[in-house]
């Protein structure tokens, strides 16, 4: 069956139903768009009384354009062409001159949203899966099928920029409030309301009290001079502050909106097409698309044995420190029951406070409802004893990075575990095989390495020991996915992937400092490169003691070619701890902070600093590949982007190396 | 005879109302003990037939608190739960209810217990004030609202104190302390005797700290503090200090003081109970068994005498001999009340209580009396002590506001 398909009902209303038989989601690819065009041409001849767009896929209206098509855009002219073609097809909906309705149940994104915007009415279900928005800027492009023109005309400049610039989505409730849809209804009433609208019987004018119907359309003063340039200027300023100029598309989207509003819709669409073409062909766009596909690939990663992976319902977490508490919090937030143990009541109490603080912060930022936070908190069962581990499906050990401590723990813990319990360590320093042997159950042993802060960092390194059973490895991968983390599988070599690449980079920063380059110069150079944080500040955040331990660990493992930078050695010996101790490369006094003046340094060209720091990382990445620490270049890029915040617009470390000719 | 096996139990520390545990509502205290009970026993939550919890104040935001506790503790939603209320015997009622369910053939594994946050019992408005609030809420026009708002008088905002209402018997009009004074007048138990009994309670509880820890879990609070110990026990309590306290309920002629009464307390207890057969099948070693029990009605003005009638009734119905009883817990609502029970048992029933067998680890005067939870605590404390002493038979009993007594005969192996 083809998608979309056309049916005309007894009332003469044309129902255009999207349901791609070959895919889980409906996408706007050349085939569907061509088919849509054909249908609309037919309707222009037959003149239906009304027109409804609907999907018969659960939880999906139209998820947007097929990104593989975007990837193919070779040059600006090609992009312009693509946008114009879309404009022409969507224009036909308006040309029909009959009431047209987008009946939205589920994801309505990008091109799907633009199709809905081209309709006279939009009705959406209150299904939580119903999300409407224009995420294009996240892929480095701008909405190209009328989104930048029709949305601000419909809901006003400010609300439109909110959605377009950040690439946000909104649910039905919010969509009604801002006027993006005309009504929010329960799924059972969707067709009924759509018919009403398509018959042109309209919707009840919104009274102040009814939240399910949008306010009657009004003039948007903010779309006009003098508010328009003012609002756009502020939006640009805010965007620049966030992107540091690395991401052109949000700014370009603002251009398209602003210039379009000053003109007719027709001219506006042409402006949009031009700008779309311009950004779609840039390398930033290609890189962001690459990151999109990397995210897709790794968040759906399947390894051998996935079919016999064990479902995880209860997790034991050993150690209530920063990592242990972070892991416990994240697991509980994803619905798992967590038994959290530490050796001292005080440590457990501190861990519980950490967890409560993360939840509290989440409630404040509206990432989680107060009720869900309460329930999540109630799933964490703290203790100082070894009770409550026999029914755990998986345990994660996150105690001190000392082999004797871990050995002791395993000897007490493992006999209390169920036969099929997976034993995991969050270690980042100790060889996984050594731990696997210490546990006495090496086949059930696996490394699951989270990154700090656990609730923010999407990457999880799943570490394969020499004896790890395939279904145990698969369980760990599936577990990471269940937690909505992004797993990569790595070999149990020192530092795994991320720390192995990061440490030489941080160490090199230390060497530069030792050569007399200033702290600020180094950190600023890497911020300018797009890193979320300068290397020296990162050491401060991680903790100088921790960074030093890892550096030394690696220096021992790779003696001969790695050594701890003298500066790091010195600052560690001086007893500085970084942010947690109030002093490191920076001095932290309350909310104020400044550079530690013990390290005076000079300026040096940013490109030189960047080159030095990246080169060591790239060389290490090559070694990781040849040693089989990871299996592919994609593993490296996913690891760096999702584990260290390596700038997504660069497409990953390997991608960057390729682009700059360093990958040979 | 069928017995109910009590497998294990755990409780929060008991904290004086308004102190360490005041931030946790009763449903959260209950959730904490049930979660921990499940963790410690490792019982498969899918085999639990029912959750039964005792609670007296019944927080308005957690109607049928047992169900709230069950769901928040991760008990499957298919497992039903209900709340029981027999005032100070609510914790007993949860246990005996499970027994009744079991003999009626309705399930075989139960999580029971009691919970109370006396810190969180709300203040109430008078009905007259409530009417005015309702009128204000209904008023539509601006003027209607203003006039509704103007109808309030300062007296409307005087709260009715929920705790006090709960501790006052609406039938005889006396509050619980006053029923204690009635017993003083009936039996002439002197202030000095009462104070001496209270002192002993604190001294025994002080000595039993380590033992009581064995039945108590650590409660971790979200702001990073933790609570490990019952905080009502006054380790340095003295006769002189007790003598200085003023009577609370009858200022001129009274004897009942804050020192010789139980305390307002926050706390919760959970017990895992099941049929004897089921325990055998799961090869669990029960802490003990519920052999028999009885509830008896008495004069509401003399509600404190409840145990004096419930205990003989339970013995008579079960055929257990008084001489076989080796250990007794009688809830210490008021010192005068326990002493009066002793007298009645001796004079009327010829049953002598040896003080060395009675409340050996202190009682509610020292540990506190979270009303809905106390019954379950007595069962737990008694069985743990019987285990330590390798005893066979014990009785847990309590007086009940409204004029009742409860007595449970517990045994080991």
pLDDT mean across residues, chain B: 95
pLDDT mean across residues, chain A: 91
- Select from A352, A360, A377 the Cβ nearest to the Cβ of B224: A352
- Among A34-48, A210-224, A647-661, B362-376, the least confident range: A210-224
Cβ neighbours of residue B294 closer than 8 Å, sequence gap 6 or more: B310, B311, B313, B314, B317, B406, B407
Q: At what angle do helices A283-299 and A265-280 cross, to 10 degrees?
A: 80
Q: At what angle do helices A227-243 and A248-261 cross, to 10 degrees?
A: 170
Q: Tell me the pLDDT band of B128, cut-offs 50, 70 and 90.
A: confident
* B221 touching A (Cβ < 8 Å): yes
Q: What is the pLDDT of residues B48-63, one digit of tens each?
A: 999 999 999 999 999 9
CA neighbor of B96 nearest in space, from B364, B334, B386, B398: B398
* B327 touching A (Cβ < 8 Å): no
User: What confidence score (pLDDT) does residue A209 get?
Assistant: 47
Strand duo B265-275 + B109-117: pairing: antiparallel
| Cβ-based burial of A1 (10 A; exposed 0-12, middle 13-18, buried ≥19) | exposed
Q: What is the pLDDT of residues B338-347, one digit of tens each?
A: 999 999 999 9
Distance CA A351, CA A394 (A): 20
Q: Tell me the pLDDT band of A82, cut-offs 50, 70 and 90.
A: very high
Alpha-carbon distance A388 to nearest alpha carbon in chain B (angstroms): 4
Tell me the average pLDDT across A165-192.
92
User: What confidence score (pLDDT) does residue A463 get?
Assistant: 96
Backbone phi, psi, residue B172, to 5°: -95, -10
Tell me the average pLDDT across A569-592.
87
Distance CA A25, CA A61 (A): 8
Tell me the average pLDDT across B10-23.
96
User: What confidence score (pLDDT) does residue A212 get?
Assistant: 63
* A388 touching B (Cβ < 8 Å): yes
Tell me the average pLDDT across A588-609.
85
A378 chain-B contacts, CB cut-off 8 A: 28, 31, 35, 72-74
Alpha-carbon distance A331 to nearest alpha carbon in chain B (angstroms): 15
Tell me the average pLDDT across A43-64.
93
CA neighbor of B31 nearest in space, from A379, A320, A346, A388: A379
Determine, for residues B222 and A353 on separate chains, whether the beta-carbon distance falls below 8 Å.
yes
Tell me the average pLDDT across A206-225.
64
Structure tokens at A389: 């581990």
Model confidence at A1: pLDDT above 80 = no
Q: At what angle do helices A535-542 and A519-529 cross, to 10 degrees?
A: 100
Q: Tell me the pLDDT band of A208, cut-offs 50, 70 and 90.
A: very low
* A350 touching B (Cβ < 8 Å): yes
- Among A212-226, A493-507, A572-586, the least confident range: A212-226
Model confidence at A216: pLDDT above 60 = no
Task: Return the residue of A nearest to B224 by Cα.
Answer: A353
Q: Which of A87, A220, A449, A572 is catalytic?
A: A449
DSSP symbols for B59-78: -GGGSSHHHHHHHHTT--TT
Distance CA B240, CA B217 (A): 34
Tell me the average pLDDT across A170-194.
93
Angle value at C-alpha A324, between A323 and A328, nearest 5 degrees: 115
* Percent residues over pLDDT 70 in chain A: 97
Tell me the average pLDDT across B154-169.
82
Determine, for residues B74 and A379 on separate chains, whether the beta-carbon distance falls below 8 Å.
yes
Which of the residues of B are catalytic?
A: 88, 369, 399
Task: Return the residue of A nearest to B71 by Cα.
Answer: A375
Tokens 């499940």 label which residue?
B38
* A379 touching B (Cβ < 8 Å): yes
Distance CA B357, CA B208 (A): 14
Determine, for residues A353 and B72 on separate chains, whether the beta-carbon distance falls below 8 Å.
no
Q: Is the peptide bond before A82 cis (omega within 30 degrees of 0)?
A: no
Structure tokens at B233: 């026990």
Distance of CA A69 to the CA centre of its chain: 22
Tokens 């006009």 label which residue?
A224
Determine, for residues B222 and A350 on separate chains, whether the beta-carbon distance falls below 8 Å.
no
Determine, for residues B222 and A387 on separate chains, whether the beta-carbon distance falls below 8 Å.
no
B35 chain-A contacts, CB cut-off 8 A: 378, 381
* B29 touching A (Cβ < 8 Å): no
Q: Tell me the pLDDT band of B312, cut-offs 50, 70 and 90.
A: very high
Q: Tell me the pLDDT band of A454, cut-offs 50, 70 and 90.
A: very high
Alpha-carbon distance A384 to nearest alpha carbon in chain B (angstroms): 9
User: What confidence score (pLDDT) does residue A214 get?
Assistant: 60
A449: annotated active-site residue:
yes
User: What confidence score (pLDDT) does residue A206 get?
Assistant: 47
* Percent residues over pLDDT 70 in chain B: 100
| Residue A404 CB neighbour total at 10 angstroms | 9
CB A396 within 8 Å of CB A327? yes
> pTM, whole model, 2 decimals?
0.90
Distance CA B117, CA B370 (A): 7
């Amino acid at each position: 069956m083809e998608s979309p398909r056309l049916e005309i009902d007894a009332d003469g209303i044309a129902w255009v139903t999207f349901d791609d038989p070959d895919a889980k989601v409906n996408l706007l690819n050349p085939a569907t768009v061509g088919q849509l065009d054909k249908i609309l041409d037919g309707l222009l001849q037959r003149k239906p009384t009304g027109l409804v767009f609907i999907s018969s896929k659960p939880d999906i209206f139209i998820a947007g354009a097929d990104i593989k098509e975007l990837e193919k855009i070779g040059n600006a002219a090609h992009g312009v062409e693509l946008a114009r073609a879309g404009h022409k097809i969507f224009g036909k909906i308006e040309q029909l001159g009959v009431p047209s309705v987008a009946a939205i149940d589920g994801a309505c994104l990008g091109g799907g949203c633009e199709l809905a915007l081209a309709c006279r009415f939009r009705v959406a279900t209150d299904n939580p899966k119903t999300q409407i928005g224009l995420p294009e800027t996240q892929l480095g492009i701008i909405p190209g099928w009328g989104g930048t023109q029709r949305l601000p005309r419909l809901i006003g400049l400010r609300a439109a920029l909110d959605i377009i610039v950040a690439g946000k989505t909104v649910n039905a409730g919010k969509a009604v409030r801002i006027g993006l849809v005309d009504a929010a209804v329960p799924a059972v009433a969707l067709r009924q309301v759509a018919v009403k609208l398509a018959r042109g019987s309209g919707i009840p004018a919104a009274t102040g009290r009814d939240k399910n119907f949008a306010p009657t359309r009004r003039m948007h003063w903010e779309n006009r001079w003098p508010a328009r340039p003012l609002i756009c200027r502020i939006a640009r300023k805010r965007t620049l502050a966030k992107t540091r100029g690395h991401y052109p598309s949000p700014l370009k989207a603002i251009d398209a909106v602003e210039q379009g509003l000053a003109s007719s819709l027709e001219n506006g669409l042409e402006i949009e097409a031009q700008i779309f073409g311009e950004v779609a062909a840039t390398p930033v766009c290609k890189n962001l698309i690459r990151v999109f596909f990397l995210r897709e690939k790794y968040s759906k990663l399947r390894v051998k044995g996935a079919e016999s992976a064990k479902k995880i319902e209860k997790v034991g977490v050993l150690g209530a420190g920063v990592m242990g508490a972070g892991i416990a919090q994240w697991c509980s937030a994803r619905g798992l029951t967590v038994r959290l143990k530490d050796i001292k009541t005080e440590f457990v109490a501190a861990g519980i406070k950490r967890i409560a603080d993360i939840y509290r912060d989440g409630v404040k930022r509206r990432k989680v409802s107060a009720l869900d936070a309460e329930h999540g908190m109630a799933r964490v069962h703290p203790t100082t004893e070894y009770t409550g581990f026999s029914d755990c499906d998986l345990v994660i050990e996150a105690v001190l990075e000392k082999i004797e401590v871990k050995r002791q723990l395993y000897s007490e813990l493992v006999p209390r575990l169920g036969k099929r319990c997976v034993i995991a360590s969050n270690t980042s320093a100790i060889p996984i095989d050594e731990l696997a042997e210490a546990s006495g159950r090496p086949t059930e042993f696996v490394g699951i390495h989270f990154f700090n802060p656990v609730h923010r960092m999407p990457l999880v390194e799943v570490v394969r020991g020499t004896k790890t059973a395939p279904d145990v490895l698969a369980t760990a991968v599936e577990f990471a996915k269940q937690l909505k983390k992004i797993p990569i599988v790595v070999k149990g070599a020192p530092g795994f992937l991320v720390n192995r690449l990061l440490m030489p980079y941080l160490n090199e920063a230390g060497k530069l400092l030792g050569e007399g380059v200033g702290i600020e110069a180094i950190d600023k150079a890497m911020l300018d490169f797009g890193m979320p944080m300068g290397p020296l500040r990162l050491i401060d955040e991680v903790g100088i003691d921790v960074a030093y331990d890892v550096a030394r660990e690696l220096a021992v493992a790779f003696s001969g070619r790695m050594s701890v930078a003298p500066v790091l050695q010195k600052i560690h010996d001086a007893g500085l701890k970084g942010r947690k101790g109030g002093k490191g490369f920076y001095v932290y006094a309350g909310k104020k902070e400044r550079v530690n003046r013990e390290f005076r340094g000079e300026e040096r060209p940013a490109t030189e600093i960047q080159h030095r720091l990246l080169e060591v990382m790239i060389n290490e990445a090559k070694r990781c590949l040849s040693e089989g620490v990871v299996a592919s270049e994609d593993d490296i890029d996913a690891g760096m982007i999702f584990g260290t915040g390596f700038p997504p617009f660069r497409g990953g470390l390997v991608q960057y190396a390729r682009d700059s000719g360093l990958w040979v | 005879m069928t017995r109910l096996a009590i497998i294990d139990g755990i409780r929060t520390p008991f904290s004086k109302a308004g102190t360490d545990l005041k931030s946790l509502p009763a449903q959260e205290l209950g959730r904490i003990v049930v979660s921990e009970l499940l963790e410690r026993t490792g019982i498969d939550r899918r085999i639990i037939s029912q959750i039964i919890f005792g609670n007296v104040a019944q927080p308005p935001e957690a109607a049928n608190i047992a169900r709230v506790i069950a769901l928040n503790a991760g008990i499957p939603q298919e497992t039903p739960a209900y709340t029981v209320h027999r005032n100070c015997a609510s914790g007993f009622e949860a246990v005996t209810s499970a027994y009744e369910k079991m003999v009626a053939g309705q399930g075989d594994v139960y999580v029971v217990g009691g919970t109370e946050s006396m810190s969180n019992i709300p203040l109430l408005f008078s009905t007259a004030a409530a009417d005015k609030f309702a009128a204000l809420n209904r008023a539509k026009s601006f003027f209607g609202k203003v006039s509704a708002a103007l109808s309030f008088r300062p007296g409307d905002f005087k709260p009715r104190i929920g705790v006090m209402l709960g501790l006052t018997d609406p039938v005889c009009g006396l509050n619980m302390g006053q029923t204690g004074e009635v017993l003083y007048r009936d039996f002439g138990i002197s202030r000095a005797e009462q104070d001496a009994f209270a002192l002993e309670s604190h001294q025994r509880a002080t000595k039993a700290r380590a033992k009581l820890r064995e039945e108590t879990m650590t409660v971790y609070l979200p702001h990073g503090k933790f609570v490990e110990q019952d905080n009502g026990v006054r380790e340095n309590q003295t006769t002189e200090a007790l003598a200085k306290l003023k009577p609370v309920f009858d200022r001129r002629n009274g004897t009942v003081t804050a020192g010789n009464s139980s305390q307002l307390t926050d706390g919760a207890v959970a017990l895992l109970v099941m049929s004897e057969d089921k325990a055998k099948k799961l090869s669990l070693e029960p802490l003990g068994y519920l052999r028999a029990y009885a509830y008896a009605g008495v004069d509401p003005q003399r509600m404190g005498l409840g145990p004096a009638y419930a205990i003989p009734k339970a013995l008579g119905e079960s055929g257990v001999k008084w001489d076989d009883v080796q250990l007794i817990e009688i809830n210490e609502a008021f010192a005068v009340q326990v002493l009066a029970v002793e007298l009645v048992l001796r004079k009327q029933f010829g049953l002598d209580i040896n003080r060395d067998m009675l409340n050996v680890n202190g009682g509610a005067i020292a540990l506190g009396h979270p009303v809905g939870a106390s019954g379950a605590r007595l069962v737990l404390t008694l069985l743990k002590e019987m285990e330590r002493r390798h005893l066979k038979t014990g009785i847990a009993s309590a007086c009940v506001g409204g004029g009742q007594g409860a007595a449970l005969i517990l045994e080991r192996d």
